[in-house]
Amino acid sequence: MLRLCAPDELAEGQSRGFEIAEKKLFAVRKDGQLYAYRNRCPHRGIPLEWLPDQFLDTSASLIQCATHGALFLIESGECVAGPCAGQALQILAISEDDQGIWVDLNEA
């Protein structure tokens, strides 16, 4: 497991991007739960955000691809609207303890 950041560096309802070992990923905290995905849209294979750490739609309830507006469920990464509907983001194992937020880049 690789450390992403301190627990207080990812607030409730926020997203944050990271690059570790030349791999782009992002994490989201929603309803006290953490979710992590590879930062790669299944439609075009490009990063999702258009500004640093901007992975969520305006309501902060869905992940949004800035390039073509595809929307993904935060809890599963499933695309529910847009050109890649039915596909999903690649989920990563994530955990948290007092020392930090941790991700496993070898997961699915």
For the entire predicted model, the pTM comes to 0.94
What is the spatial distance between Cα 23 and Cα 36, in angstroms, rounded to a whole number? 13
Confidence of residue 108 (pLDDT cuts 50, 70, 90): very low
Q: What is the pLDDT of residues 29-51, one digit of tens each?
A: 999 999 999 999 999 999 999 89
Burial class of residue 65 (count of CB atoms within 10 Å of its CB; 0-12, 13-18, 19+)? buried
Q: What are the structural domains of the chain?
A: 2-103 (2.102.10.10)
